[in-house]
Amino acid sequence: MKSILDNRPGLAQEVNRVAEVAGYLWQKGWAERNGGNITVNVTGFVDDAIRRMPPISEARAIGATLPHLKGCYFYCKGTNKRMRDLARRPMENGSVIRILDDCAGYVIIADNPVAPTSELPSHLGVHNYLIGSGSPFKAAVHTHPIELIAMTHSPKFLEKDVATRVLWSMIPETKAFCPRGLGIIPYELPGSVQLGNATIRELEEYDVVMWEKHGVFAVDCDAMQAFDQIDVLNKSALIYIAAKSMGFEPDGMSDEQMQEMTAAFNLPK
């Protein structure tokens, strides 16, 4: 079967990068059953032949009008599809969609009529925000990192910047690679417009957003870099929990040590 990826190395590389990340999410235990989702803005890889491709699905409503997405194309993990399957067969467990000119709907164009993730409205709302704000970020990754989710079951970590301060203090690289920290959103219904809007608000201030008792949402230039953000934060959570399981509260880096890091790496204060 002919694929949209054939003879398009840039697009194929981007989709295969998503597949590689999907495999890591599964291996880490962060993607049970059909858990998690990934979307990538692939508009930059679209040629005239793709623009002429007929839809292979009926038009579907997004649930909002997103004006910055006019003319955009996205690769999306499929709803009810497993990350472990996407890792092996990305075009059977995901699809490429075209946003319609009304910016309120989309159609699937390749390779199979795989319905996108049920959280597509949240993802597209974020992509609309990213384009509108001039961000270079093209990828959004949502997954269920065990240790970070565990921390949200403690009320103290739901307070503003408490989790960020603890995670930064566990290992120097965390602040270096996630300098704006972790935003926290109190529990909202998965896939809801409210959750999407709250995520956009938090991304104005933070690198990664934590959905209480649910998972994390990260954006970056590609899926691998978004994964890296989450991986770094969860390593800090693992160190914190390892110390607690040994029977002590970890000291963490001091304020002076973190200020030194901030200056040395020219990080946001």
Residue 75 lies in a domain: yes
**Residues 109 and 184 reside in one and the same domain:** no
Residue 124 lies in a domain: no
The pLDDT, as a whole number, for residue 181 is 93
Place 17 in a pLDDT band, splitting at 50, 70 and 90. Answer: very high
**Residues 152 and 113 reside in one and the same domain:** no
**Residues 98 and 184 reside in one and the same domain:** no
Q: Which residues pair with 110 in a beta bridge?
A: 96
Place 255 in a pLDDT band, splitting at 50, 70 and 90. Answer: confident
Q: Give the CATH number for residue 179.
A: 3.40.225.10
The pLDDT, as a whole number, for residue 168 is 95
Place 264 in a pLDDT band, splitting at 50, 70 and 90. Answer: confident
How many independent structural domains does the chain possess? 2
**Residues 106 and 42 reside in one and the same domain:** yes
Place 189 in a pLDDT band, splitting at 50, 70 and 90. Answer: confident
Alpha helices per DSSP H over 139-264: 146-151, 162-170, 172-177, 193-203, 223-245, 255-264
The pLDDT, as a whole number, for residue 263 is 85
Given 100, 118, 136, which residue is the final one in a domain? Answer: 118
**Residues 96 and 199 reside in one and the same domain:** no
**Residues 185 and 102 reside in one and the same domain:** no
- Higher pLDDT among residues 248 and 269, named by residue: 248
The pLDDT, as a whole number, for residue 1 is 75
- Higher pLDDT among residues 58 and 263, named by residue: 58
CA distance 165 to 66: 35
**Residues 14 and 114 reside in one and the same domain:** yes
Given 102, 118, 134, which residue is the final one in a domain? Answer: 118
**Residues 173 and 55 reside in one and the same domain:** no
Proportion of the chain above pLDDT 90, given as a percent: 86
Q: Active site includes 173?
A: no
Residue 163 lies in a domain: yes
CA distance 134 to 111: 30
**Residues 154 and 255 reside in one and the same domain:** yes
- Taking alpha carbons only, the member of 76, 82, 37, 46 closest to residue 60 is 76
**Residues 165 and 243 reside in one and the same domain:** yes
Residue 13 lies in a domain: yes
**Residues 7 and 93 reside in one and the same domain:** yes
Contact 144, 138 (CB under 8 A): no
Place 259 in a pLDDT band, splitting at 50, 70 and 90. Answer: confident
Q: What phi and psi values does residue 107 have, to the nearest 5 degrees?
A: -130, 155
The pLDDT, as a whole number, for residue 42 is 98
Domain around 76: 1-118
Place 196 in a pLDDT band, splitting at 50, 70 and 90. Answer: confident
Given 67, 99, 118, which residue is the final one in a domain? Answer: 118
- Higher pLDDT among residues 17 and 188, named by residue: 17
The pLDDT, as a whole number, for residue 5 is 98
Structure confidence by residue, pLDDT tens digits, 141-175? 999 999 999 999 999 999 999 999 999 999 998 99
Residue 217 lies in a domain: yes
Give mean pLDDT, residues 171-197.
89
Catalytic-role residue among 119, 188, 256, 260: 119
Instruction: Give yes or no for residue 227 having a pLDDT over 90.
Output: yes
**Residues 159 and 112 reside in one and the same domain:** no
The pLDDT, as a whole number, for residue 153 is 97
